[in-house]
Amino acid sequence: MTAERVYRLLLRVYPRDFRSEYGREMTLIFRDEYRMCDTAALTFWVSMVWDVAHSAMSMWADVWIARGKNYTRTVEVVMKFAGILAASLGVFGVLNAVAEGVAMRGTLERPPLLGVVLGGAAGVLLIAAGAAVVRSTRSARNTATIALVTSLLIVMIVRLTHPWMSELSELIGIGLPIALLAALHWPRRRDDSSASPA
């Protein structure tokens, strides 16, 4: 096996993109260095292996930092959609509470006024939480957390006082705030925009 082939094998430790972009040039340099080498073969190979080892680690670090940034961006986009969904469902909740209140006013049964009012309040809180999630700042995150916890408590009170609450309402009123709270407080990597100096 020639020295150049051994070096080409060593190049396999680099990330694929880096290798395909610079592998040929690096092999040319290796060939030049090998031809002009004025040190012992062992010294030469030790320096080459050392160079490959520490530069490959650095290249892989760059790859993982880039992947981390992509992951952070994806999470941000998903959270914005979740915020818009929460706000939309909040609007739906408020409209639904108003409609129920209006529809039950003329019936013999006394309108479940507390349930309607609390349902409307939970909807307003979902709108506030959704808007805060979309803003995605630290203070907005705290606002969203408070709004979601309060909305969750209200819906649970409504569920206890009015057991005929529909499954869809339970899913929206209880499942959504829990899912959003989990997503907001799930430990995630910080966007490290201060990559190592050039």
Partner 1 sequence: MTPESHLPLAPATFQILLALVDGERHGYSIMKEVTARSDGAVRMGPGTLYGALKRLLEGGLVEETEERADVEVGDDRRRYYRLTKFGLRVARLEARRLEAMVRAARRKKLIGTEPA
Contacting residues toward partner 1, per CB under 8 A: 14, 18, 21-22, 25-26, 28-30, 32-33, 47-48, 50-52, 54-56, 58-59, 62, 196-198
- At 46, the amino acid letter reads V
Nearer to partner 1, 56 or 121 (CB): 56
Question: Smallest distance from the beta carbon of 8 to partner 1, in angstroms?
Answer: 12
Nearer to partner 1, 107 or 193 (CB): 193
Question: Smallest distance from the beta carbon of 76 to partner 1, in angstroms?
Answer: 21
Task: Transcribe the chain into DSSP letters.
Answer: --HHHHHHHHGGGS-HHHHHHHHHHHHHHHHHHHHH--S-HHHHHHHHHHHHHHHHHHHHHHHHHHHHHHHHHHHHHHHHHHHHHHHHHHHHHHHHHHHHHHHHTTSSSPP-HHHHHHHHHHHHHHHHHHHHHHH--HHHHHHHHHHHHHHHHHHHHHHHH-TT--HHHHIIIIIHHHHHHHHHHS--------PPP-
Structure tokens at 44: 């030469």
Distance CA 76, CA 80 (A): 6
Rg (CA), the chain: 30
Nearer to partner 1, 107 or 194 (CB): 194
Question: Smallest distance from the beta carbon of 168 to partner 1, in angstroms?
Answer: 50
Question: Smallest distance from the beta carbon of 72 to partner 1, in angstroms?
Answer: 19
Nearer to partner 1, 63 or 84 (CB): 63
Write down the residue that tokens 């909740």 correspond to. 93
Nearer to partner 1, 10 or 121 (CB): 10
Question: Smallest distance from the beta carbon of 79 to partner 1, in angstroms?
Answer: 27
Nearer to partner 1, 48 or 79 (CB): 48
Question: Smallest distance from the beta carbon of 53 to partner 1, in angstroms?
Answer: 8
